[in-house]
Amino acid sequence: MPYNIRKAAVIGSGTMGGGIAALLAGVGVETVLLDIPARDTQPGDPAAKRNAVVADGMKRMQKSRPAQLFSTADLNLIHTGNLDDHLELVADADWIIEVVVERLDIKQNLMAKLAEIIQPQTIVSTNTSGLPIHDIAANLGDDFKRRFLGTHFFNPPRYLRLLEIIPHSQTDPEIVDYLMQYATERLGKGVVICKDKPNFIGNRFMTMSGMQTINEAIDRSLTVEEVDSLTGPLIGRPKTATFRLNDLVGIDVAVHVARNLYPAIPEDPARTVLEHAQTTALFDKLLANEWLGNKSNQGFYKQVKGADGSKEFWSLNLSTLDYEAPSKPRFDSVGKHRKVEDTGERLRLLLNEDDKAAQFLWHHHAFYLAYASHRVPEITETIVNVDNAQKWGFGHELGPFEIWDALGVAETIEPFEAAGYPVADWVKQMVAAGHAAFYQRDANGQVSGFYSPQDAAYLPLAKDSRAYSVNVLRGTGNEVARNAGASILDMGDGVALLEFHSQANAIDTDVLAMTQQALERLDADFDALVIGNDGERFCVGANLFQMMMAVQSDQIDQLEAMIKNGQDVTQMLRYASKPVVTAPHNMALGGGAEFVMSGARSVVHTELYIGLVEVGVGLLPAWGGCKELLRRVINPVMESSPNGDALPHLQKIFEQIALAKVSESAKQAREMGFLTACDRIVMNREHLLGEAKREALHLADGYVPARAGKVWAAGRDAYAAMLLGIEGFREGKYATEHDAVITRKVAYVLSGGAISEPGWVDEQVILDLEREAFMSLVREPKTMERIGHMLQTNKPLRN
């Protein structure tokens, strides 16, 4: 049967349910969100009273930070109601997701009601994280069971990539395949298939690994801060590490999951880590004190006011339960190896040391890796699913089997077992058969296969045909040119790729030089150019350090030449004879935003945080950012209504620049003018460069280059209106005197130099005004203070 999800329903409007509804609406799916009717209400009561539960859920969704909605406009696709009065709203839904309280009887009763009203093609799934999937549908007919499965999202659903799909024995494989494809392409998820076992993959590993970490910390008398310094970015995991993660999740939640898991896995000998006497006693005290983490403002950490009035996070002494002032843990092994760039190599070196930190990490990883070996094929068919679950669900750089390959499988089996961490027999058999690693690599060093315990052989790694990686491209010898800041690569089919790889992908003289070379190569050798990369961020803007050094060494002329060069480069990109497609993701700030707007088209990841933020360092956009927002936002208004009022639209641009506003999504970026209606939004990050290449090829066929036009300058009166607003903020103490100096310059540029009468001016007029204002501001001592503070602290200074 063909499946097509046009309408969805989410039942349960809590944090997770609301987040799933926001995600579905964000990709254009009409969504019904239902919850129980409010207590002490009757049918016929006013809707506002009767639907109070779901209304509260909607309010939480709209206020949540980080934002669950891509755009407030998505609310138009969400329809709410209660289960007693409005269940018929889900009757024609193509996909119903249950996200109610974790009680088997409640879920079973709901499924029985759904079975009576749903259509033959409706897919029904549960978001349970702990109950057996087969039990939830146990009392229903075979046709319902065929269309029923688990879909376990991770919170928050918009941001965490992992989706666990859990079929039971009677689930139709066609539905599993369809949801895998739908979730990957439409929702941007990384999907792993789990067996119907307790806590599936992600939570099973994180519970067992997390509790073992705390046990080991207590046994070795390590502090909360020491453990978190060792189990975060140092070993390729998020900054939340161990104890901060517990505070974030909620200590009560973590304890509940662990204590429910223990009786659910009687066949798992490692479950003893869930009953460590001292850890159990510690958690009992925290629960009794209601120290539950972030939700109660104290847990393993407590925020206090420092002597200078600043916020400090004091950590819990695990023995005395007193909170202690922050310290900076130091270990010889960490100091020796923390700067090793490759995570696998860094781990290998750390675990070969012998100090307190190294011993703690060695035992943690010995448990973690050995435990992983016993869970395949018990909870999932492949080692790939285990690794991906840890990476996509919890932000780990490497999964356990990838770590094990880095450490050396054969070299670690005997030490692990000697220390009391038994390794699964299939791993020993793999090594005995002459296979040195879990993953197989091709001649270019790229992963091509993985070891299957069931087959006792390597199987080819399934490839996503739409995924595109710069590293894979480089590994196959397609790099055309390179300098310290950027590279040009051949994507094939006549498309070149310009990749930034400077620190934080900041734009410096090397990046500008390589961009110019890319344009020259585009003219001579290629049909189209894509600008994108695989970095954590697309681009954080211009290289501030380089600018500050130029000012401090009295090289103002060279700095102005760099600014002029940046303007020339962005204009060359915009007016190139062949199409340039920009492919930003994550952060595109300052100069990065200006590069994004310079292309003929943008293909962007949905998580795009773009903004002209130069005011925060005492400057203004000078590589065409002011000009481009005027062209994109003001020009269409004045072209369609020559006698219209540009000021409200100009005020919007002014506020975006003056307040250094950054979009919270690609949809919001479009609303702010950084993207056009023609630009495309891609949900799956791995598909971004491939989709950008497709767009570039589409544009290349019959491409007509853009021609330089004019920009509407609102003139003196608009400038005066903006100045009035600036003075109001300054007098009200909402802006400092230097804020006012900067934003007056912004207003002057946006008004076209306060010309006497509004009218059309050449783009170069605005570019010249940008450059002149920038060079004036860069000479200001307070601007230098802002730049220096940003470089030292990564935070803006209000001076």
Chain segment 218-264, per-residue pLDDT in tens: 999 999 999 999 999 999 999 999 999 999 999 999 999 999 999 99
Whether residue 569 is found in the same domain as residue 669: yes
Rounded Cα–Cα distance for residues 116 and 96 (Å): 14
Spans of the chain, pLDDT less than 70: 1
In a domain, 2, yes or no: no
CATH code, domain with 341: 1.10.1040
In a domain, 323, yes or no: no
In a domain, 356, yes or no: yes
Q: How many domains does the chain have?
A: 5
What does the pLDDT look like over 79-112, one tens digit per residue?
999 999 999 999 999 999 999 999 999 999 999 9
Of 174, 193, 212, which closes a domain?
Answer: 193
What does the pLDDT read at residue 237? 98
What does the pLDDT read at residue 408? 98
- Going by the DSSP 8-state scheme, the letter that residue 424 receives in this structure is P
Whether residue 537 is found in the same domain as residue 672: yes
**pTM (2 decimals)?**
0.95
Rounded Cα–Cα distance for residues 327 and 335 (Å): 16
In a domain, 34, yes or no: yes
- Looking up tokens 């739409």 gives 466
Q: Residues 612, 625: contact at Cβ < 8 Å?
A: yes
Of 462, 488, 518, which closes a domain?
Answer: 462
Nearest residue to 674 (alpha-carbon basis) of 603, 620, 597: 597
In a domain, 317, yes or no: no
Q: Residues 689, 470: contact at Cβ < 8 Å?
A: yes
In a domain, 433, yes or no: yes
3-class secondary structure, 207: helix
In a domain, 155, yes or no: yes
Whether residue 45 is found in the same domain as residue 103: yes
Rounded Cα–Cα distance for residues 490 and 480 (Å): 7
Whether residue 684 is found in the same domain as residue 764: no
Residue 236 is part of which domain span? Answer: 199-299
Of 145, 164, 193, which closes a domain?
Answer: 193
What does the pLDDT read at residue 1? 66
Q: How far is CA 484 from the centre of its chain?
A: 27
Whether residue 776 is found in the same domain as residue 628: yes
Question: Which ranges constitute the DSSP H helices of 597-714?
Answer: 625-629, 635-640, 647-658, 666-672, 688-700
What does the pLDDT read at residue 310? 82
Distant-in-sequence, close-in-space partners of 2: CB < 8 Å, separation ≥ 6: none
Whether omega for the bond prior to residue 156 falls within 30 degrees of 0, making it cis, is: yes
Pull the structure tokens for residue 355: 């100090």
What does the pLDDT read at residue 507? 98
Whether residue 590 is found in the same domain as residue 631: no
Q: How far is CA 526 from the centre of its chain?
A: 33
Q: Give me the phi and psi of 22, to 5 degrees please.
A: -65, -40
Whether residue 506 is found in the same domain as residue 531: yes
What does the pLDDT read at residue 326? 94
Give the CB-side neighbour count of residue 248, counting CA atoms within 13 A: 11
Rounded Cα–Cα distance for residues 86 and 88 (Å): 5
